[in-house]
């Protein structure tokens, strides 16, 4: 797995999918005019290509962003940035978009599988105090969109349409479907 995400690692463990972590840093700056789907697929591929792998290994790269309106929300820089994101999400729906790339190398050549998943999430309205209290817990700081659906923010999620695991950080059913095909 070409990711340092503890959530992705936990999801793979829970699903019984064996892996080793070989994370690399890639530039996560969006390109001008890039859609959220293109952005996460590009980053997932960059991560998958940057990791060395033996011919019998498959490399999984993934990246997630949150989209509200036309704005992509990455990981907040601090509690104030998390509060800004949460205020934007409060009382609205948004999309969580995760790109995946599976890479394998064989004598017959390189194989790349690229795809993405989208899940719509509805946030309940949060009071300024709730936003501040949650933003200062530290939980939002390493999460796209500034919240963890599986954590303290769970009480603010009214409903979702799509894969829950995608919102946590990795669309496990999509990944597994491709792993079965290898």
Residue 182 has pLDDT above 80, yes or no: no
pTM of the model: 0.94
Q: How far apart are the first and last CA of the chain?
A: 16
pLDDT in the model for residue 94: 98
Task: State the pLDDT at residue 22.
Answer: 92
- Per-residue pLDDT, averaged over 3-17, amounts to 94
Query: Which neighbouring-strand residues pair with 46?
Result: none
Q: Please return the burial class of 127, using the count of CB atoms within 10 Å of its CB with bins 0-12, 13-18 and 19+.
A: exposed
Query: So what's the pLDDT on residue 112?
Result: 94
Give the start-to-end residue ranges of the domains of the chain: 6-181
pLDDT at 170: 97
Residue 114, judged by CB atoms within 10 A of its CB (0-12, 13-18, 19+), counts as: middle
Task: For the chain, give the percent of residues with pLDDT over 90.
Answer: 87
* Res 135: pLDDT: 97
CA dihedral in degrees (85, 87, 91, 95; nearest 10)? -10
Confidence category of residue 175, pLDDT binned at 50, 70, 90: very high
List active site positions: 63
Class of domain 6-181: alpha beta
> In the predicted model, what is the mean pLDDT of the chain?
95
Tens-place pLDDT, residues 64-123: 999 999 899 999 999 999 999 999 999 999 999 999 999 998 767 788 999 999 999 999
Closest CA to 7 of 142, 122, 135: 142
Q: What is the pLDDT of residue 24?
A: 87
């Amino acid at each position: 797995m070409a990711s340092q995400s503890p959530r992705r690692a936990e999801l793979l463990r829970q699903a019984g999918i064996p892996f080793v972590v070989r994370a690399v840093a890639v530039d996560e700056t969006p390109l001008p005019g890039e859609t959220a789907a293109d952005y996460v697929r590009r980053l997932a591929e960059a991560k998958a290509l940057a990791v060395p792998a033996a011919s019998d290994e498959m490399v999984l790269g993934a990246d997630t962003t949150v989209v509200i309106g036309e704005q992509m929300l990455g990981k907040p820089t601090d509690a104030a940035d998390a509060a800004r994101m949460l205020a934007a999400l409060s009382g609205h729906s948004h999309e969580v978009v995760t790109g995946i790339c599976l890479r394998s190398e064989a004598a017959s050549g390189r194989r790349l599988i690229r795809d993405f998943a989208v899940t719509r999430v509805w946030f309940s309205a949060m009071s300024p105090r709730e936003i501040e209290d949650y933003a200062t817990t530290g939980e939002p700081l390493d999460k796209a969109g500034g919240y963890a659906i599986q954590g303290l923010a769970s009480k603010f999620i009214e409903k979702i349409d799509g894969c829950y695991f995608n919102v946590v950080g990795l669309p496990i059913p999509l990944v597994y479907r491709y792993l079965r095909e290898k």
